[in-house]
Amino acid sequence: MVKSLKNNPLIEKMKSAKEVVWINPDKIPFSEAEDKLLLGKDDIRDASERWKRFAPFLMKAFPETEVTGGIIESPLVGIHNMEDAINSEYHSNLKGRLLLKKDSHLAVAGSVKARGGIYEVLKHTETLALQNGILKENESYEKLADDSSKAFFQNYTIQVGSTGNLGLSIGIISAVIGYHVVVHMSADAKQWKKDLLRGYGVDVREYEGDYGEAVKKGRALSDQDATSYFVDDENSKDLFLGYAVAGERLQKQLEEKNLAVDDAHPLFVYLPCGVGGAPGGIAFGLKQIFGDHVHCFFAEPVQAPCMLLGMVTGLHHDIAVEDIGLSGNTSADGLAVGRASGFVGRLMEPILSGEVTVRDDRLDDYIRWMKRDTLKEIVENSPESIFLMHVNALRKYLK
């Protein structure tokens, strides 16, 4: 439902680039929401099984995944010094355990986009390989790392629009499989990401505009080529489901740490949000497992709160941050998105607990505090990962 933009104190604060906390008034018990969702447990199970089928290929193509049996996953670690810094700086007393999911350390691409981006390319690859006899049923997917398979995939193109991180995951996995790859990057993408992709032989095309322009140009060019496949970060169910398997994996890690998630021990998860695919998919996967015992919050920069704006107004993809006078610029380049995914926003309406926004200057503080936890490598190139630690919301909801 579209809501009025006028006389809305929250939107007035957002226009002034002030930090806000929004509690979703449309959230309902998960038992009621579950039947209304377009996707469900069976879809996640299918994605999980596909990841397993590709494990032999991933181990051969990326030897660093051998230690996890070809599964691309990140550690879950306690960040006690960060917790102390929060308590000291804000005179608070956080209850429970403060943990960081180090998706900054995911193999192959080094960001959360390694989940969804790589998964969608693998699914497309599976379809082409089975349809064309490159793979036979029950044959090991390790074969896809052979030169003969690469020669076949050279006849096909993968394209994507990106602020950087999705482009890295799509570009690297696609190039290794053998595809011709075109990554359309917005002006705010970091130069080192462009250089890394070009090192893999990826065709990186740069645009003066924002993420939306890169996606628009990439989609249009891909539509002109029958052999081209466009990874649509705004509307892709496959991308979304690739992220969703994170829920079952986090469940296992919590169990290994003997951390219960139940009515007496709720789980609060803070997810950095750009266009919405990654945090939306993870939140969806977590809700399928923990239901009302998990509370998922998105965190966005004050200059690029596109998902919050879309959900508050009910306009979703039909409104951009520029429409309320914001720039969309942020040092958290992976979150520099002006217009959110309508697909994700609508799916989140009954299950997302809320949102928070954060000023860029706070990121500097959070990075400094995180370094005290001897996790310097987390923030070298991914300041957006620190959004997981948004202090104001943590202080309010973990009392």
Q: Where exactly are the structural domains of the chain?
A: 9-54+72-108+240-397, 113-238
pLDDT at position 105 is 85
Closest to 308 measured CA to CA, from 322, 326, 321:
321
- 287, 291, 354, 361: which is closest to 331 by C-alpha? 361
- Please determine, for residue 391, whether its predicted confidence score (pLDDT) is greater than 80: no
The answer to whether 297 touches 260, Cβ cutoff 8 Å, is no
Q: Lowest-confidence range among 17-26, 158-167, 240-249?
A: 158-167
pLDDT tens digit sequence for 168-221:
899 999 999 999 999 998 777 788 888 888 988 999 988 887 777 778 888 888
Q: Determine whether domain 113-238 maps to CATH 3.30.530.80.
A: no
The pLDDT value recorded for residue 370 is: 75
- Cα separation, 319 vs 310, in Å, equals 6
- Res. 389 pLDDT band, cuts 50 70 90: very low
Per-residue pLDDT at 111 = 84
| Separation of alpha carbons 326 and 302, rounded Å | 8
Q: Which pLDDT belongs to residue 291? A: 97
Q: What confidence score (pLDDT) does residue 390 get?
A: 42
Q: How far is CA 102 from the centre of its chain?
A: 13
Measured from the Cβ of residue 41, the count of other Cβ atoms closer than 10 Å reads 13
Q: Is the pLDDT of residue 381 over 50?
A: no
Q: What percent of the chain has pLDDT over 70?
A: 91
Dihedral sign computed on CA atoms, order 347, 349, 354, 357 = positive
Q: Which two tokens stand for residue 190?
A: 């970091």
DSSP-derived secondary structure letter, 280: H
Q: Give yes or no for a contact between 354 and 305, defined as CB atoms under 8 angstroms apart.
A: no
Query: Quick one: pLDDT at residue 296?
Result: 97
CATH number, span 9-54+72-108+240-397: 3.40.50.1100
Q: CA separation (Å) from 301 to 82, 316, 320?
A: 20, 17, 14
Q: Look at residue 373 in the predicted model and tell me its pLDDT.
A: 61
pLDDT, tens digit, 9 for 90 and up, residues 50-106: 999 999 999 999 998 999 999 989 999 888 888 888 888 888 888 888 899 998 888
pLDDT at 367 over 80: no
pLDDT of residue 94: 82
pLDDT at 314 over 70: yes
State yes or no: pLDDT of 336 exceeds 70.
yes
pLDDT of residue 1: 58
E strand spans, the chain: 21-23, 76-78, 99-101, 157-162, 180-185, 203-206, 228-231, 267-272, 294-301, 354-358
Domains 9-54+72-108+240-397 and 113-238 share a fold: yes
* pTM of the predicted protein model: 0.87
Average pLDDT, the chain: 87
Give the Å distances, CA to CA, from 47 to 238, 239, 245: 8, 10, 7
Q: What is the pLDDT of residue 395?
A: 39
SS3 223: helix
CA distance 398 to 158: 43
Joined tokens for residue 142: 């390790």
Q: Scan for tokens 């939140």, then name that residue.
A: 283
Q: Is the pLDDT of residue 379 over 80?
A: no
Strand order from edge to edge, sheet including 203-206: 203-206, 180-185, 157-162, 228-231
The stretch 157-171 carries a mean pLDDT of: 87
Confidence category of residue 387, pLDDT binned at 50, 70, 90: very low
The pLDDT of residue 118:
92
